[in-house]
Amino acid sequence: MIIKNVRILGGEPVDIRVADGLIAEIGPGLEGPETVDGQGAVALPGLVDLHTHLREPGREDAETVQSGTQSAARGGYTAVHAMANTSPVADTAGVVEQVWRLGREFGHCDVHPVGAVTVGLEGRQLAELGAMADSAARVRVFSDDGKCVDDAVLMRRALEYVKAFDGVVAQHAQEPRLTSGAQMNEGVVSGKLGLTGWPAVAEEAIIARDCLLAAHVGSRLHVCHVSTAGSVEILRWAKSKGWNVTAEVTPHHLLLTDDLVEESPVGAYNPIYKVNPPLRTRADVEALRAALADGTIDIVATDHAPHPVEDKETEWSAAAMGMVGLETALSVVQEAMVETGLLDWEGVAQRMSVAPARIGRLAGHGQPLTPGSPANITLYDPSVRTKVDPSAFASKSRNTPYEGMSLPGRVMATFLRGRPTVLEGKLV
């Protein structure tokens, strides 16, 4: 198959010949019996998400492996890491193999299960990290995401343990006592609205401690969904020491701020903006963008968190935390980072494919679009602007904060090892 007229990382138009799941040849004027018209789209290596909630097993009303990976493919992703906070929790070889098998059977992209750090995400006892690493799922990323591993001794042990198989502990940095009952960012807006605040220090204190622990035991730490300017300062310091620390930021923390809770197109106290960690201030957003641009934050990860209507469309204090994100991630990154001149397409490819694949130790993803690489390719048209229509999502859930918002760009096609999963913007 020939993919005609695409611009690799936004460069000059070329054609790509795909054979046996690999990129066979790149050049002008390639001909063959089967062609796909790339229409001058930007070609990126297939996107890799380090932080997706697929909800299966247990909450198939919110999302399944099938619907979640369809959503991922439509967003340009060829691989996702499925978070462990399912029911049952993915804390044994049996459960991670179940998720991995569901991915093989129903996945529209590759599914790499994340293993829980502690049994039942309860923070008391280490889960079977070695058994999950040795299982068919070959788990390399471990996280209690949704909850913080707040016990310093357990966190130290987990960091020590994963070294044996080159794993990484991905921490949801949230000091639980400082955020007991917290509803939104602690600041001017929370004060005005009378909602319990979620102080930045609750995130920053854990990140600082974990960077020190990772350095102490010489292990790999990954920090999930960094949301504050202070966290960026700590990461900058840890990296300046040469410590093995990586970090992610979500698309929503690059674009949205906490004053939406007070005043937004959909009114005040709308739980669509309720998310963990919470939306922060404009100054935080600016710091996160600068950190993603200069490499202090390594990657964009969606924290795609589907919830059914009844869990989201309720009063603020009762509503579930989280937003869907797979199908809007690239558009939001274009809006926040490319339109602002902070990143070019090569920079986007690094942060949404190359680096997340490296952190997750996925050999078959995040490779340069050159002959011999797996044909994991995303075709993206950055020239259009459309209003976000959640009813068109492939996700089972609709909890997007961008409904009706005009965002740039559109994923035209996604190829997984040469096989199209999305063509003309539609699932194949």
Closer residue to Zn ion, CB minimum distance, 360 or 409: 360
Flag whether 91 is marked binding.
Answer: no
- Burial of 371-399, coded b for 16+ CB within 10 Å and e otherwise, reads eebbbbbbbbbbeeeeebebeebbbbbbb
Does the CA dihedral 132-137-142-146 come out positive or negative?
negative
Select from 2-10, 104-112, 124-132, 142-150 the region that touches Zn ion (CB under 5 A).
142-150
Radius of gyration, CA atoms only, the chain: 20
Flag whether 102 is marked binding.
no
5 is in an annotated binding site: no
Report the candidate in 352, 393, 400, 392 with the shortest Cα–Cα distance to residue 46: 352
The DSSP symbol for 62 reads T
With CB under 5 A, what is the number of residues at the site for Zn ion?
Answer: 2
Beta pairing partners, 15? 27
134 is in an annotated binding site: no
| Residue 228: strand, helix, or coil | coil
Asked whether the beta carbons of 398 and 88 are under 8 A apart, the reply is no
Cis peptide before 13 (omega within 30 of 0): no
Q: Is 175 exposed, middle or buried (0-12, 13-18, 19+ CB in 10 A)?
A: middle
Q: Which is nearer to Zn ion, 324 or 411 (CB)?
A: 324
Residue 66 sits at φ, ψ, to 5 deg, of: -65, -55
Q: How far is the CB of 156 from Zn ion (least distance, A)?
A: 20
How far apart are CB 49 and Zn ion at their closest, in Å? 13
Question: Nearest residue to Zn ion, using CB?
Answer: 172
Q: Is the Cβ of residue 322 or residue 408 nearer to Zn ion in the bound state? A: 322
Q: Is 172 annotated as a binding residue?
A: yes
Q: Three-class SS of residue 52?
A: strand
Residue with smaller CB distance to Zn ion, 15 or 150: 150
CB of 342 to Zn ion, least distance (A): 24
Name residue, tokens 């462990």: 84
Any known ligand binding at 303?
A: yes
**Binding range to Zn ion, per CB under 5 A, among 129-137, 141-149, 177-185, 241-249:** 141-149
- Residue with smaller CB distance to Zn ion, 278 or 418: 278
54 assigned to a ligand binding site: yes
Q: Are strands 35-45 and 377-387 parallel, antiparallel or unpaired?
A: antiparallel
Q: Which two tokens stand for residue 313?
A: 């469309």
Query: One-letter amino acid identity for 22?
Result: L
CB-CB contact of 221 with 245 (8 Å)? yes
The Cα 65–Cα 306 span in angstroms is: 12
Judged by CB under 5 A, the chain residues 200 through 239 that form the site for Zn ion are none
- Give min distance, CB of 15 to Zn ion, in A: 41
Smallest separation (angstroms) from Zn ion to the CB of 92: 21
CA distance 417 to 332: 26
Q: Is 112 annotated as a binding residue?
A: no
Q: For Zn ion, give the closer residue by CB, 119 or 321.
A: 321
Give the one residue of 147, 172, 253, 351 binding Zn ion; rule: CB under 5 A: 172
3-state secondary structure 341-365: CCCCHHHHHHHHHHHHHHHCCCCCC
For the bound state, the minimum distance from the C-beta of residue 198 to Zn ion, rounded and expressed in Å, comes to 13
Q: What are phi and psi of 61, to 5 degrees?
A: -75, -25
Q: Which of 145, 150, 204, 335 binds Zn ion (CB under 5 A)?
A: 145
- Residue 51 counted as an annotated binding residue: yes
Which of 298, 303, 381, 389 is the catalytic position?
303
Of the listed pieces 64-72, 86-94, 116-124, 171-179, which binds Zn ion according to CB under 5 A? 171-179
Is residue 252 at the binding interface for Zn ion, with CB under 5 A as the rule? no
Least Cα distance to 199 among 173, 225, 219, 221 occurs for 173
Query: Which residues from 2-31 bind Zn ion, rule CB under 5 A?
Result: none
| In the complex, minimum distance from the CB of residue 274 to Zn ion, in angstroms, rounded to a whole number | 14
Annotated ligand binding at 276? The verdict is yes
3 state DSSP class of 269: coil
If the CB atoms of residues 83 and 272 are measured against Zn ion, the closer one turns out to be 83
Provide the terminal-to-terminal Cα distance of the chain, rounded to the nearest Å: 16
| Nearest distance, CB of residue 101 and Zn ion, angstroms | 25
Active site residue 303: yes
Q: Which stretch binds Zn ion (CB under 5 A): 73-81, 169-177, 281-289, 331-339?
A: 169-177
Q: Which is nearer to Zn ion, 145 or 311 (CB)?
A: 145
Binding residues for Zn(2+): 51, 53, 145, 172, 225, 303
- Which residues participate in the annotated binding site? 51, 53-55, 85, 145, 172, 225, 276, 303, 307
Residue ranges binding Zn ion (CB under 5 A):
145, 172
Question: Could you list the active site residues?
Answer: 303
Annotated binding site for substrate: 53-55, 85, 276, 307
